[in-house]
């Protein structure tokens, strides 16, 4: 509460703008104005539609919080390419609700953000999947394991590849750091956007090749086919 007062007081002298539409924020608004927060909220999948009805080679279950549409797209673009990792806080509420629903239904030994390659990390300064996992971590029971999985090499752009080509493109991209911590365990992977699932499926394949019992994925958003 005191923090809110402090923030409001600071805001009197240093007004903040909405991260999406640049309108000036009211004192009680955070990151997004009420209108943009509502539009973003409209993209949240209802709980019974958050599960992705698709079968994967190695991933057991996949859930996504948002539909990957405007204005979520713009928000995530700014997170990744304008180095505004704090904007992910605008997604915390719905992401936490889904994460809590999943982890209360299924028992996991650890939560694993999908790693990015160290060269990308140097360029971007943070891994958005890890920032998201850190935002959720204090409210979740399974511990956050940052370094069990590492990215061996950067994955070339997947944009123009079909499903099979993507699977080949990502093969061998991940490496397990402490195999003893993998065998017989269940993991919930965290990632930003789920498109075909090739990357997350490869991460799951790598974990299962070291004996992981179950690997699920919670993605912040999933792309929606426009047909
Ligand atoms: Zn706005």
Collapsing DSSP to helix, strand or coil, 82 comes out as: coil
Ligand 1 centroid to Cα of residue 42, in Å, is: 14
Mean pLDDT of 167-178: 89
Identify any residues that bridge with 44 across adjacent strands, giving them in sequence order: 66
Q: pLDDT tens digits for 62-112? A: 999 999 999 999 999 999 999 899 999 999 999 999 999 999 999 999 999
Ligand 1 centroid to Cα of residue 10, in Å, is: 20
Q: pLDDT tens digits for 181-224? A: 999 999 999 999 999 899 999 999 999 999 999 999 999 999 98
Looking at per-residue pLDDT, the higher value among 109 and 27 belongs to 109
Q: What confidence score (pLDDT) does residue 75 get?
A: 96
Ligand 1 centroid to Cα of residue 37, in Å, is: 7
Q: What confidence score (pLDDT) does residue 121 get?
A: 87
Which of these, 209, 139, 224, lies nearest to 179 by C-alpha position? 209
Please give the Cα distance from 222 to 42 (Å, whole number).
14
Residue-level length of the chain: 227
Which of these, 151, 201, 147, lies nearest to 173 by C-alpha position? 151
Question: Which residue ranges make up each domain of the chain?
Answer: 1-41, 43-222
Please say if the pLDDT value at position 226 is more than 70: no
Instruction: State the CATH class of domain 43-222.
Output: alpha beta
Token readout for 189 is 């992977």
Ligand 1 centroid to Cα of residue 47, in Å, is: 25
Ligand 1 centroid to Cα of residue 21, in Å, is: 4
pTM of the model: 0.90
Ligand 1 centroid to Cα of residue 93, in Å, is: 18
Ligand 1 centroid to Cα of residue 24, in Å, is: 8
First to last CA, the chain: 47
Please say if the pLDDT value at position 9 is more than 90: no
Ligand 1 centroid to Cα of residue 155, in Å, is: 34
């Amino acid at each position: 509460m005191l923090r809110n007062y402090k923030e409001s007081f600071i805001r009197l002298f240093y007004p903040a703008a909405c991260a999406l539409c640049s309108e000036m924020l009211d004192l009680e608004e955070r990151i997004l104005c009420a209108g943009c927060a509502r539009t973003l909220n409209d993209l949240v999948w209802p709980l019974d539609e958050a599960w992705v009805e698709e079968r994967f080679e190695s991933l057991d279950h996949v859930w996504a919080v948002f539909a990957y549409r405007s204005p979520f797209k713009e928000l995530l673009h700014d997170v990744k390419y304008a180095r505004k990792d704090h904007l992910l806080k605008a997604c915390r509420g719905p992401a936490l609700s889904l994460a809590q629903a999943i982890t209360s239904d299924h028992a996991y030994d650890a939560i694993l953000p999908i790693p990015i390659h160290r060269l990308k990390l140097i360029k971007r300064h943070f891994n958005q999947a890890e920032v998201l996992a850190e935002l959720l971590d204090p409210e979740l029971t399974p511990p956050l394991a940052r370094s069990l999985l590492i990215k061996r090499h950067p994955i070339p752009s997947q944009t123009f590849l079909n499903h099979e080509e993507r699977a080949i493109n990502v093969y061998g991209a991940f490496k397990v750091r402490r195999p003893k911590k993998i065998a017989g365990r269940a993991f919930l992977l965290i990632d930003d956007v789920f498109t075909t699932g090739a990357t997350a499926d490869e991460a799951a394949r790598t974990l299962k090749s070291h004996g992981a019992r179950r690997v699920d994925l919670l993605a912040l958003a999933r792309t929606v086919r426009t047909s």
